[in-house]
Amino acid sequence: MRLLLISNSTNPGEGYLEYPTPYIKDFLGEKPINAVFIPYAAVTFSFEEYEEKVNNRFVEIGHHVTSIHRFINPVEAIENADAIVVGGGNTWQLVGMLWEKGLMKAIRKKVKEGTPYVGWSAGSNIACPTLKTTNDMPITEPGKFKTLKLVPFQINPHYLDDHPANHGGESRETRINEFIEVNRNVYVVGLREGTMLTRQGNELTLLGDRPARLFKYGEEPKELTSNNDLSFLLG
């Protein structure tokens, strides 16, 4: 499998998909690709707007995306895709629509056959076995929490260490600790903004200049950098 799982689309003060664009270019290669784009996580803007926004960045690196909502047969579109790109937004809506349209299994099968997969935020979250480590509000009920299981661990995108002053709610680490208390055999990677994971077959690597935070029940959280081999998480 070939995966590029990005924490966030945009860093403060930058354009949309600006920082990950060089990584996407390296991942997809020089040969022009027309990828199928999944915009279903969009809530407050249209799929057409989302497609245009992503395409504007992809054409800069010689590639193109076509939103899946333009295809009469979306499953067939996935089966014929040169690459699959899944945008961020609300994970609950994304998962619900993928199950509703019969695409979850089709995407999993296609990617396991070697088709490149690029996702950010919600698009990275659904590469995991379940959506349970999303940060998003459950604005809709997807019916199933199961997702693509392209990796056997969980990702928490946009991972934050900060606990704002005068905020009485849980920190991100507290919420993840609750998850691993109930799901004791599952690793969770807190993927900080500006970073991403890439999977090439049985190799897993962290990209970016910030560490990731690794959680597992009964173990102290660990800081992992781009110098670490993370392939053990695929075991």
Residues annotated as catalytic (active site), given as ranges: 121, 136, 158
Is 6:87 a contact under the CB 8 Å cutoff?
no
pTM: 0.96
Distances (CA, A) of 39 to 43, 70, 218: 9, 11, 38
- Give the contacts of 57 (CB within 8 A, at least 6 positions apart): 15, 16, 17, 18, 21
Rounded Cα gap, residues 222 and 189, in angstroms: 10
Q: How confident is the model at residue 169 (pLDDT cuts 50, 70, 90)?
A: low
pLDDT at residue 63 is higher than 80:
yes
Q: What are the structural domains, with CATH classification, of the chain?
A: 2-152+192-209 (3.40.50.880)
pLDDT at residue number 40:
98
Q: What is the pLDDT of residue 166?
A: 62
3-state DSSP assignment of residue 86: strand
* Helices and strands, number each (H, E), in the chain: 7, 11
pLDDT category, 137, cuts 50, 70, 90? very high
Q: How confident is the model over 167-188, as a mean pLDDT?
A: 90
Residue, of 72 and 162, whose pLDDT is higher = 72
